[in-house]
Amino acid sequence: MHAPFVSDVDPGSSDVAPDDAVAPTWDEPRGPHLPDRLTAIPPLVWPFLVIAALQVWDAVPSLRDAASEPEQIFVTLVGLLAQIAPTLYGAALFWRHPDAWRSLRMLAIGVALVAIVAVAHLGTTRAHEILDAAWPPADDQLFGSWASFLYDVSLSVLGLVAVLSLARGLADVRRFEDPPATRRLRLAVGILATLVAAFIIARFLSDLLPASSSSQELLVRNLVALVLAVARLGSWAYLTAVAGVGWLARERPRTGWALAAAAGLATFAIQMPIAWLWFSLPSEVTVLAFLGGPALLLVAFLVGLPSTEPAGAEEGATDPEPRSDASGDATEPVATVDGSGPAGFGVRP
C-alpha cells in the first residue's frame, strides 16, 4: 500500500490554483535523436565534408593500385591530401564562423567556388565522354574535342575566381590601418610574382613553343595554359599581399594571417623551382611542394581566420588604431581593394 502524497504547499493557499498540476521532478525522456556532437556541428560544414568523402572514394582505385609499392602509395596519399585540403576550406570556415554566409559573404563565396570546382573535377572523365560524343573531335586532333578543352578551361577560370574571392574576402574584413611597412611588402610580393611570371614565360618560349610549332592545336592549348598559369600566379600573389599586410597590421588571429600569407607564398613562389627542377626532383618532393600551400591555408581557417570580433574585443589584445574613412571616423570593415600596386598585385590605394 502506497503512502499518501504529501505536499509542502497548503492546498487552500492562494499561491496555487486549484486546477494546477504538480510538475514532475524527473527529466522528460528524449525521443530518437542524433548524437549531440553531430548536432553541434554547423549545418553548412556537412556539404564540404561530403565532397571530401567523395574525393576519397574516387581515389580508392588509385590507392588500391599503389598499395603494393611504398613509394607510390606515399605519392598517391599526399596527392589526395592536396586535393582534399582546398575542399575543407569551407568546412573549417563555417565551423569557426557558423554565420559566415552573412558576416563573411565573400569568403563564403570563395570556399563554395572551391568546392564546386572539386565536384566538377570528380566528374571530368564523364563530362569529357559526353562532350566528345556530342562534338566529336576532328581526325587530326590529338587531345580530344575543343568542347572538352573548354570544359577544362572553365574549371581553371572558376578556380581562379575562387582564389580572388578568398583574397577579396580577407581584404574586406581588415579592421586596422595599414602599417608603414605595407608598401615595401607589396613591392616585394609584386617583384617576386613578376620574376616567377617571367620565368614561366621564358620556359614556355624556350621549350613549349618550339615543340608546338608543328601543331596549331598544341600551340593554342599551350598558349591558353600559359595565360591561365600567369593569371593563377597573380591571384595567389594578390592573396599573399592581402594576408601579409593583415599580419603586419596585427589583424586577429595573427597566426591565421601569417599562415595565409605563407600559403600564398608557397603556392605561387614554388612554381619557379618546381618548373626548373621538375624532371630531376623525386616525385615525393613535388607532391609535398604542392600540398604545402593548401595545407597552410586550411590550418589558417582552422585557427579562426579571420576574426569577426570588434577591434579590441579579444581578451588581452593590444590592438592598433582601427581603420578610418576620409572624415577620420572609425568605420566598419569595408572593401577597399582596387588592384593597384606593383604589377597589379596591390591591396589598397
Average pLDDT rounded to a whole number, residues 231-259: 96
DSSP-assigned beta bridge partners for residue 226: none
Ordered alpha helix ranges (H), 141-208: 146-172, 182-203
Structure confidence at residue 338 as a pLDDT band (50, 70, 90): very low
Q: What's the pLDDT at 331? A: 38
Instruction: Extract long-range pairs of 116-122: CB within 8 Å, 24+ residues apart.
Output: 116/158, 117/155, 117/158, 117/159, 117/162, 118/51, 118/55, 118/83, 118/86, 118/87, 119/51, 119/54, 120/155, 120/158, 121/83, 121/155, 122/54, 122/55, 122/58
Average pLDDT rounded to a whole number, residues 132-153: 87
Round to whole Å and give the CA distance between 36 and 17.
38
Domain ranges across the chain: 44-306+333-344
Q: What's the pLDDT at 71? A: 77
Lowest mean pLDDT of 10-19, 87-96, 174-183, 225-234, name the range.
10-19
Lowest mean pLDDT of 20-34, 144-158, 205-219, 305-319, name the range.
20-34
Round to whole Å and give the CA distance between 116 and 110.
10
Q: Tell me the whole-structure pTM to 2 decimals.
A: 0.79
Q: In terms of pLDDT, which residue wins out, 37 or 107?
A: 107
Q: What's the pLDDT at 330? A: 40
Q: What's the pLDDT at 45? A: 96
Query: Would the pLDDT of 326 be above 80?
Result: no
Q: What's the pLDDT at 262? A: 96
Helix (H, G, I), strand (E, B) or coil at 330: strand
Query: Would the pLDDT of 266 be above 80?
Result: yes
